[in-house]
Amino acid sequence: MSIDGQTTPAPEEPAAAAVPATRRAVIVGGNRIPFARAGGAYAKSSNQDMLTAALDGLIARFGLQDERIGQVAAGAVLKHSRDFNLTREAVLGSALSAETPVYDLQQACATGLETVVGLANKIKLGQIESGIAGGVDSASDAPVVVSEGLREVILDLHRARTLPQRLQILSRLRPKDLAPLAPGTAEPRTGLTMGEHQALTTAQWKISREAQDELALNSHHNLAAAYESGFFDDLMTPYRGLTRDANLRADTSMEKLASLKPVFGRNLGADATMTAGNSTPLTDGASTVLLASDEWADARDLPKLAAVVDAEAAAVDFVHGKDGLLMAPVFAVPRLLGRQGLTLADFDYFEIHEAFAATVLSTLAAWEDEDFGRTRLGLEGAFGSIDRTRLNVNGSSLAAGHPFAATGGRIVGTLAKMLHAKAASAGRPARGLVSVCAAGGQGVVAILESL
């Protein structure tokens, strides 16, 4: 049967080359600053400020002052050109050893999770003993870009040697060149914003307004309950007067959510379902996760919450409309679980990033669809369904907010703590799945297992 989708056939014969023995990469813990709504408490904070604060909170929690970490990896989606060495600058401003090497990474909303995966892999290979993964984004302090015309004039002026040359170059300037270009979230190849893309997918999978609002409601209630129980006491360090995510609406209700007007897919008329309530707002924030080898963690008497088991990335052809922009995890998860010999029933928790409520629901719908399973995933039937009581149990992006690159670290820190607690209470290992969709039709997913 020909599959017009994405599968990974099992290797027909074992790899011939010698593969180095690998070891376990463990998650020691996480730290983030509360997420603020754009233009809110962190309006005057730069990415570097926020990432440094998140790092310093992590250092204080685990006593890492002057520690030379194997490598720190972090990044931002909305990044100023001056921040080419954002992570290194943040590390130099933190209490870590100045001899800590870093790399910056940029993979849209999957940035944070990809830094976890990359550093975990280095630990598994024995290349580093410890790593700090992270991400930060500021929608408030976003770069503003000059027009292409002005940019060319400035560069040419720099190269010019004589006054007549300079005057000639300046004469090329037109008033419209002086208007700055505001940052946009539109996909360059389609011109559609992420919300408009999701609106297409939402309509395709016939996700109801009510189902989206209900998911948003759960996100807020779950996050509020987590705060009330002190769940975040060792996952978060306050910043600039914020002690909780500013976007959290503990008292929201189905009625309040139902009263909001659709903001995406308005060309669908009465069928438009996506509102500000069931979509994530623009957010500022930063998160970090401390990763280590068993030896490194043990030598410092650090806790070990969970292991990074495996990860998978996928991308979809949204440009030609074959799949929805945010549907890459739909393909990544079956490939990952197939490789690991697992099914959706083998997981205690699911952390599916709520870019939009409809993103999560479209993903679940695709997995539950017999036809999609057969024709696109190459399975006998539907990939499967999940126990919804295990989904985003301590809230997710709809309530917490979504500072793009910081979301992966938020999820990994949260899930690692949940898995550790679950294993302790259930007396057996616990397993969790992380799924993050990203701009450009990308997605990264990962499996964590309790320690």
Active site residue ranges = 109, 402, 437
Q: Does 228 bind other proteins (CB under 8 A)?
A: no
Distances (CA, A) of 40 to 101, 105, 232, 355: 32, 26, 21, 20
Q: Does 421 bind other proteins (CB under 8 A)?
A: no
Q: Does 371 bind other proteins (CB under 8 A)?
A: no
Q: What are the residues facing 192 on neighbouring strands?
A: none
CB-CB neighbours of 174 under 10 Å = 11
- Smallest CA-to-CA distance from 63 within 301, 416, 304, 410 is with 301
Q: What are the residues facing 23 on neighbouring strands?
A: none
Min dist CB 29 to other proteins, Å, is 11
> Which is closer to other proteins, CB of 94 or CB of 212?
94
Q: Does 239 bind other proteins (CB under 8 A)?
A: yes
Parallel, antiparallel, or unpaired for β 26-32 and 283-292? antiparallel
Q: What are the residues facing 239 on neighbouring strands?
A: 242
Min dist CB 121 to other proteins, Å, is 28
> Which is closer to other proteins, CB of 335 or CB of 417?
417
Q: Does 301 bind other proteins (CB under 8 A)?
A: yes
Binding residue for other proteins, selected from 26, 53, 153, 297, defined by CB under 8 A: 53
Min dist CB 97 to other proteins, Å, is 12
Q: Does 238 bind other proteins (CB under 8 A)?
A: yes
> Which is closer to other proteins, CB of 257 or CB of 290?
290
Residue 24: exposed, middle, or buried by beta-carbon count in 10 A (0-12, 13-18, 19+)? middle
Q: Does 154 bind other proteins (CB under 8 A)?
A: no
Q: Does 12 bind other proteins (CB under 8 A)?
A: no
Min dist CB 52 to other proteins, Å, is 11
Q: Does 236 bind other proteins (CB under 8 A)?
A: yes
- Please list every residue from 59 through 98 that binds other proteins, using CB under 8 A: 59-63, 65-66, 95
Taking the C-alpha atoms of residue 212 and residue 202, their distance in angstroms, rounded to an integer, is: 10
Contacts of 248 (CB under 8 A, 6+ apart): 220, 223, 224, 227, 395, 399, 400
Residue 36: exposed, middle, or buried by beta-carbon count in 10 A (0-12, 13-18, 19+)? buried
Min dist CB 63 to other proteins, Å, is 4
Taking the C-alpha atoms of residue 300 and residue 69, their distance in angstroms, rounded to an integer, is: 13
> Which is closer to other proteins, CB of 93 or CB of 384?
93
Question: The tokens of 271 are what?
Answer: 């069928």
Q: Does 233 bind other proteins (CB under 8 A)?
A: yes
Q: Which residues bind other proteins (CB under 8 A)?
A: 53, 56-57, 59-63, 65-66, 95, 230, 232-234, 236-239, 243, 301-303
